[in-house]
Chain A
């Protein structure tokens, strides 16, 4: 397609992504693909106990492998500043994956924690030698079994953005007297992001200047973190990540590979590349917490909810991790008279949990949206109709206004496209040969947020525009989308805009997470372009060039270019910006309930004898606010749905309950969906802007996965009559 659309806005056009040719020809350089003279390769040595103390490390055999340069352990590694506890007051702490000071401590906190690193001339030599490092431990009692620890879970304290518990009325009393009830337990296992690119770091020290190519979702905060840990001024650290091979939350924090690569480069004085193996990715990078949840619903016979209770238990680690908003959907989705949510957590001797696509909401929506389907069955009401009867006017838990909510419209659109009216209400009523056929539905919901990003935009007399912002691109298409936005705002063709990103030397941006990057950066790009437009019209007035093109005006004014900046990276300006950002997030949170939402409709086929499940059809209708680029946005929504299919049917870290070790740390053991698992996926978006967000954007990165596992579980129930409340829904659970 042509990229310039005459007389039409670029925003809303399905423009081809800027980096498409680089990625299809193999020209895009990822973090493990930067050549430096004297480059060395590193390999990690994982701990083999889940809690303990290192009593000895024998590195002689490893050091004797030809090509090995050094073996670093806590006995000989350079000293590092310990990571600090995460606090919003210090952005450098927000990306601490764990509290462990790697290779600076003899303590072991989880099975898989790196306890040594080998640096060698080739990666083979490094990996071979790593296998020869012999570590002796004093074992300490470890708590590794999530299921066994569940009774010891303690209540989460919560924070302004995520309350640990919430309450309206007396849900337990209402439940006790409700004429129709559902009260069930749902469980989900640990999930791993498994972005296709394994985490990779190339670290280069020149004196006290550090350059790091890192597969990170958080260029700016990682830079601050490295400066803190290695005791150098932030200005001396540069983090580069123009291409990141997927993240999904798994590259949001500084995991051991990054820190140890930088440490090894400092120790050896040579550039170091550390590319995690797929096994390392499972054992040394945080994963989605497992969960055990209870959803209890009470309704009158007309299907109006009188009681909604949703509680959850998740896990963190003794050395980091975070709570997840598992029960958030229950606070926003249904107009129940009485609501109670409560989250609690266990603390294990485990690698910390971390955010994975729609943290909390992805697994919480499985439980809630399954329970609603169960209630619909009890009541004999169509599950879509039941949802519509309980669709709220205001945010159910606290009465806040919705900035925008079009869930009814999404359901109507989705039902029409899918053909929901053809569904027979009876479970196990449709058969096609050996296949039992069923249809399921569930709601998608993910909160929308906007932070602040610093941006500079330059408009040059040759008509080109340069947008500079240290945002990240892991495939979402942000560079393309921001170019569309800037081109529209300044009235120039798409091709005239160049976007610089993925480099911490650029103005500071936020991390890519929480589906907020596009709206956050868009807000600043629009503000900067507004400043430029005003300056341009001043120049036009002064030179008598009103109504002329930017090139004509700037040429007449003899100005080679004009710049506009939003936000500052240094000193007081930076502090003020950070304070404004936090204040805005909290204020927004207090004023509005803001979210992207949608309706998933699916059809499944279950083999009556083997329990094999095939997802055969999918329609999803979303309200994600304004869609800037259908091509990139729909692709993200589809990707979310497919990851949800994985969550529903395949994905599960198998953890040894005695040792806490993951038993399937590979792509052959941990199954993600492949082509043949995925049906045609029909996506529709209402495309109505949210009035409170820049350009009306609500975010598309995460909402797609929410509700997916429930829609499938509901369809499987409709097909077979079996209700499976434990993910993943593998054939064994259907044939017993």
Chain B
């Protein structure tokens, strides 16, 4: 099938999409946007988190067809040219990044949290990010990054 979807503000088309294909696959393999990661492809890790019509979803669990005609925003669409989004910048500043494989999903999830709750409590941050696994950092600095981003924005 042909898929029409708006990604990071631009209309995109993908042809020969298989009905069972995930949105994550479409983004990574057909649209050249591998920023969203595929650590489990089963909805367990959050590394594939993107916005679908402004709501964060695990793109590995969204069938491509469900995105038809909808609006997707990925980690690649957060920065303004070379200027990082405040959430991205605070991840760098706080040292919340190690291998970086969990980072795109976490950045999107944190971005969404701060959009909904501009000044979250620690509990709210932990809860909001509990679906995003990180095996490297020990989480503490990710918490700092979100707190700092909240304070500066």
Residues of A within 8 A of B (CB): 1, 14, 16-17, 19-30, 32-33, 35, 122-124, 193-198, 243-246, 248, 275, 277-278, 474-477, 631-632, 634-643, 666-668, 672-676, 678, 680-681
Residues of A within 8 A of B95 (CB): 14, 16-17, 631-632, 634-635
Could you say which of A26, A635, A668, A680 contacts B75, with CB atoms under 8 Å apart? A26
Bound complex: CA A567 to CA B143 (Å): 43
Residues of B within 8 A of A32 (CB): 34, 38
Interchain CB contact under 8 A, B74 and A195: no
Interface positions of B from 5 to 51, Cβ below 8 Å from A: 18, 20-21, 25, 28-29, 32-42, 44-45, 47
Question: Is residue B59 contacting chain A, with contact meaning CB distance below 8 A?
Answer: no
Question: Is residue B138 contacting chain A, with contact meaning CB distance below 8 A?
Answer: yes
Interchain CB contact under 8 A, A26 and B33: yes
CB distance from A250 to the nearest CB of B (A): 10
Interface size bucket, B side?
35 or more
Residue in A closest to B33 when the chains form the complex, CB atoms: A26
Question: Is residue B97 contacting chain A, with contact meaning CB distance below 8 A?
Answer: yes
Q: List 16 A-B contacts (CB under 8 A).
A: A19-B100, A23-B100, A23-B104, A26-B76, A30-B101, A32-B34, A32-B38, A124-B25, A476-B98, A631-B95, A635-B95, A635-B138, A638-B140, A668-B42, A672-B135, A678-B138
Residue in B closest to A26 when the chains form the complex, CB atoms: B35
CB distance from A608 to the nearest CB of B (A): 22
Interface positions of B from 103 to 123, Cβ below 8 Å from A: 103-104, 107
Bound complex: CA A559 to CA B129 (Å): 54
Question: Is residue B84 contacting chain A, with contact meaning CB distance below 8 A?
Answer: yes
Interchain CB contact under 8 A, B42 and A195: no
Could you say which of A19, A246, A639, A676 contacts B138, with CB atoms under 8 Å apart? A639
Bound complex: CA A248 to CA B135 (Å): 9
CB distance from A512 to the nearest CB of B (A): 12
Q: Mark B75-109, 1 if CB is under 8 A from A, else 0.
A: 11011000010001101110101111111100100
Q: Is the interface of B mostly helix, strand, loop or mixed?
A: loop
Could you say which of A124, A196, A635, A637 contacts B18, with CB atoms under 8 Å apart? A124
Bound complex: CA A123 to CA B74 (Å): 22
Question: Is residue B130 contacting chain A, with contact meaning CB distance below 8 A?
Answer: yes
Bound complex: CA A666 to CA B91 (Å): 28
Q: Mark B129-149, 1 if CB is under 8 A from A, else 0.
A: 111111111111111000000
Take A639-B135, A641-B138 as given contacts and tell me if A278 and B40 are in contact as well, using a CB distance cutoff of 8 Å: yes
CB distance from B40 to the nearest CB of A (A): 5
Residue in A closest to B87 when the chains form the complex, CB atoms: A24
Bound complex: CA A341 to CA B78 (Å): 56
Take A14-B95, A20-B97, A639-B138 as given contacts and tell me if A675 and B132 are in contact as well, using a CB distance cutoff of 8 Å: yes
Interchain CB contact under 8 A, B42 and A678: no
Take A29-B34, A675-B130 as given contacts and tell me if A196 and B39 are in contact as well, using a CB distance cutoff of 8 Å: yes
Residue in A closest to B89 when the chains form the complex, CB atoms: A24
CB distance from A606 to the nearest CB of B (A): 20
Take A124-B20, A196-B99, A246-B101 as given contacts and tell me if A33 and B34 are in contact as well, using a CB distance cutoff of 8 Å: yes
Interchain CB contact under 8 A, B135 and A195: yes
Max chain B CB contacts within 10 Å: which of A28, A29, A248? A28
Interchain CB contact under 8 A, B135 and A122: no
Take A21-B84, A29-B34, A197-B39 as given contacts and tell me if A636 and B99 are in contact as well, using a CB distance cutoff of 8 Å: no
